[in-house]
Structures are given as C-alpha cells and as structure tokens.
Structure 1
Amino acid sequence: MNKQPPLIMRQLFDRSSCTYTYIVKSSGSSDALLIDPVLEHVSRDISVLSNMSANLTKILNTHVHADHVTGSGALKERLGSTAVQTFISRESGAVADVLVTNNDKIDIGDGRFLTVRSTPGHTPGCISFETDDQASVFVGDAVLIGGCGRTDFQGGDSAQLYDSVKEKILSLPDETNIWPGHDYNGRTVSTVKEENTFNPRLTLKKSEFVNLMDTKFDGSNYPSKIDASLPANMVCGVFSETTKQPVLHPGGFLWVPEKFKPDKMVKLAERVKAGAVICDLSSGEGGTYSGDSLDTPWHENDHSLFLSEFKAKVPDFDAPVILCCKTGKRASKGCALLEMAGYRDLTNGINLKNVAEEIGE
C-alpha cells in the first residue's frame, strides 16, 4: 500500500480581526492552497509561500466574512489572475472562479485533496475543508475553540449550525485536528474529542443551544468592518483598478445594508416634491410608481449594465435618488450598487405606489 506524502501546513494570524489564514501543500508538490486570506497580509502570505518554495494555485474561502476583507482578489492581482483560482460555496451567493458544494474534492497536489463539507448556520454558505486522511478539518467560523460562530446576521440559523457541526465536524474521529477561523484567546488548534467534551455550547442539547444562541446574539454589536467587508467579499475581493470598489460581476449578488431596507417612515412624497430622481425597477407592465420615472431597466443577470445606464442618465452623485420596486429587494440591491459607485443620497422607495396620486401627478 502506497503511503500518502505528508501535508505541510502554516497557520498565520491577523491581530486586528483575530483571523487565522492557512497555507496547505503536499510535501511532494510545489503547488499550494491558501484558506481565508486577509487583505492587509497579502505581502506576508506571498513571502511565506516563497520561503516554502510554494506555488499558490488555489484560494479557498470558508464563507463570506463580515469582519475583514479577503485577500483573494489582491493575491490574484499580484500573482496572476489566471494562475490562481478562488473558491467559495455555491450556496453563499458570492462570485468566485470556482463554486463548490458538499462532497466536492479540491486537489492539493501529489494525490492529496480536501473534501468540501457544507456546514451552514453561521451563514447559509459556510463550508469546511476536510483532509483526505481526516487528520485535519478547517472549519472557518462554524466551530471556534470552546465556542462557535454567531447566528444573528447574514442569514444565520442556530438550529442549522448545531446540526451542521454535529453531523459534519464533531462526527469525525476523536483525534481529528480542528483548525478554526478565529481565536480571541491565543489558542491555535483543538480536536474533535476536546470540543465534544469541553465546548460549553456544543455539549448542550439542541434546544438549549438554540435558546442560548438566540438569547446571547440579538442582532446588535455588528462587526465594525461589516459595511466594507461584505460587498467586497461577495466578489472575493476583486477590486476595480480605477474606482477601488468591488467589481460587479454578471449574476453576482450583493449584501444589502440595513439602511437600504424599506423604511415605511420615510416621507417619500416630500422627497418626490423636492425633485428626487425616481427609478422604478419593477418587472412587468405598470410598475410600482404611477408617475413619471427614470427608464433604467434592472438587469438581474448583469448588475453592471444597470449601473452604467443609471450613471449615464444621472451623472450627479449628489442627486437625491429614490429606487422602487414591488417588494423592495431590487431597490435594496440597486441602492447598494449606487452607493458603491459613489452616490450619496439614496432611498428605497417601496411605498411609492400611491405617492403620485397623493401629490397630484
């Protein structure tokens, strides 16, 4: 029986967000992959790879992070956009070179590989990476040493997280090393046996865990970098050279900040009277707004087309803008796109249906 060449790994740390980045390669190959890089440490990561005589070919993201901007895009730019591929879960809604799902295999080199394990709950698109010999699993924020990731934003679900962790991570052999995405107390690694025995959250019954998580995390105290991190990480940190903003990829989805969700308290009639630009993104005949509005179609499969058409018609970045649609979802995405482009006075006008009649248009 042929013995597998051993894996070589480096664990790197970002002090600001307490994020761990991992380099993994086979001893018999020069190819390497990187897990969860941080933008501010791209030069460090390249230096470590060079010292290891390693050639970076793959960048894996365990999920769309909220507390830091990924270094994926900057690494692709520095090392060659075609030479390095980015990976993220298909369920995340994010854009990457390769979208993966449960049980997919990611080649490390020299016959070694990682298996993708779908571990949603912290976010819907969380994945973990299990080595082929089950000696290690890279879990992102699904499991932390003595804890787990939050579930109160980004579509988190406490019950789902509990099931994911129990079925996909803590069911591995006792000696499997658990490599977390963060640690805030100076710890570096744990094992399945340790977390099954000592983790104060994950040793609870499911109902107790859900109650604890839903009580402890109530949607407040969001990560300080969330507004910058999520839009950037939804496109794996690929930035425009001219605007320094996230590149808008066809078919990509955007996280929508709370401020662009429909607000029934906004006095839309007053804003309309004041001359706000109104753009109706509704599909079908009739639309949402019965008065005159800007004719700029919403391109669901290419958001960059909407943005370019809107900018051509409204070149003033200080112009008051109201986007509307039937549910507020398209308007929310549109507001996020326009804010990234530099527009400064944006409103989600879901309640514009009767405004035209109200003001006599």
Structure 2
Amino acid sequence: MSIVIALDSLKGSLPAAAAADALGAGWAEVVPDADLVLRPMADGGEGTLDAFAASVPGAQRHPVRVHGPRGTEIDAEWLELPGGTGVVELASTSGIELLGDVRLPWDADTTGFGEAIVAALDAGVDRLVLGIGSSASTDGGAGMLRALGARFRDADGVDIARGARGLASVSAVDLSRVRAMPPGGVTVLSDVTNPLTGPEGAAHVFGPQKGFAEADVAAVDDALHRFARLITVGRTELDPRMPGAGAAGGTGFALAAWGARLVPGAGQVAELIGLREAVDAASLVVTGEGSYDSQSAAGKVPSFVREIADASGVPTALVAGRIGADADVSAFAHALSLTALAGSPEASMADPAAWLREAGRRLASAF
C-alpha cells in the first residue's frame, strides 16, 4: 500500500514539509508497514523551497544574508537541485510573514529576494526557479531589479526610495547593468494570474492585505502604471496586462522584464518533485492546505493534486486547517478539518502538528 502525502503549507502555521511529516507520523502509528511517499507541495508561495528540499534527493541548502522587507538583514537560504537548478523563494526573503502583525505597505520591498537570486547566480547555477507568492510589498519588483543591477531615479537624478514610496517618484529606469539570466533561463512560479494594474491588478486586489488604506490604492496603481510605462519603452513584447504580471506586488512583471517565463506554480512544482509518477503507483493520495473554501477549486494545490489523482484513478483525501461552509468536498474520498478535530480554530492553531497526526491516524483507520 503506497500513500502519497502531498500537502501544501498551512499558511502562517506549518510549512508543507512539516505538515506532511506530521500526518505521515500519525498514519504510521496505525499502519507501521505502510509505504508513505512524502511529496509536500507548493504553488510558489511559502513552503516552496522546503517542498523541493523534501522531495528532491541531493538538494542542497545554501545560507545567505539578505535585507528583508523591513530593510534590515535577515538569514535566508536558496536551494540547489542536482543538475544545477537554483530555487529561490520570495516568501522567505521578502515575504509578508516576515513582518509579523505590522505591515509596511509603503516601504517594504523585494531587495532581499533579489539578493538571494544574485547569490544563486554567483554560485553558477544553470537555471533558476523562483517562487513569488506571499509578498510583503507592492514595489513592482523594483527592489529585486535594483539588487540585480538596475537603477531607478527621480526627476532630480536621485535614486528613489525603497518600496511603493519610491515608485511614486520614479522618472528614469536604467536596466543596462542588470545581471544576465543563467543559460537555462528563469521560470517563475505563481498562484495568481492578475495583471499589473487596473481593477484586477496588484494594488487594487492585494494592496489592502499588505496594509494600504483604500484611499491610497488608486495612487499606488498609478505609480505601478507609470513604472511599467518606463520599463516597456521600446519593448513591445512586454505587456503589463499579461497573466501573473501583478503577482507579488508587480514582481511578476519585473521578472518578465528580465526575461523570465511565468507559469502556474503548482504544476511546475509537481513536475520537478515527480508527483505524477508517485501518484501513478499510489493506493491513496492525501492533499490539503490551511483553509479550503470555494476559491480552492480554482487552481490551488488541493484541486490540482486531486486532478492528477483522478487521471490515474486514485482516490484522494483532503485534510485542511479549516473547511469553509461554501466548500464542495464531494469529489474527495475523505475530508477532515483540523478545526473540527480540535474543537475550535484556536485549539487547532495552537498545535497543528498534533492534529495532523490525529488526522493521519483517522485516515489510516478509515482506509
């Protein structure tokens, strides 16, 4: 009996790799000889680097010191996969979780993400895979590009400030000294398809959750529009309306300007960790995320994993921190909510690993 455990992270609570470990430990208590195949999943956000590290034999972590979203130095890392692919995660270098409860909408930026990319380039990677979910900023990726060698100046020729605050004054863009991409190119993993600007763009859709007041959103959208106009001068191949341009506060657009290819995150992660091959040999697949609701069916990890399992004729079980009242779980063979198991959201969040172990025990007993 082969059980594939392909959980996403429980956002703000437990990384995907730790979640898979906990559920697997509970299953093993009931069925000690079960063949548990851990394939922690991600879609480009928090836990992407850990998912690769846990699933790809020979993956090597490299520590790096970068400037986090506050502008202060933090410890981070990038991952080297066998064959020369480097994996860098925005969430652990410039992510919103690094800010805690205090948001810095005008000043947080993506400098640390760019610095980690530079570290991977300096190490000689042949290819880069970049996860850009869970961003703390709406800087259009300017901090990242500046770390790669770009210059952004105001009307007086002075370098602009960090974050969205700087975008409001940018009048000149110089990308002539930006580092070259690695020979194998750059693939960007994202779980959103929003354009850079407009009603569905980075400022309007994601700005409020990063701390912007409603009254500021239009000004930030205007700044992103002006920034894009400066970058696209003479470059007809760049379109701020392209799907994913608005990901990570516009970092998707900045990476496209560098020459990177934007792809849906879950599919690329699944390919690199060999998820389809593991599912083909499985008796059951267990997937899940922190909060499963009506939006989870639109390309999030659980629905993506279930589609792969369905194609192989393998049943899928869902384990989530919470299952929303609007969620349709009828396509899953089993569906467990950690909140329901624990009795309350507070109890579940206090020790998610313990309740994942309990979920593993219950699934093993039921299957």
Larger gyration radius, structure 1 or structure 2: 1
Shared fold by TM > 0.5?
A: no
TM-score by length of 1: 0.27
TM-score by length of 2: 0.26
Question: Which has more helix, going by share of residues?
Answer: 2
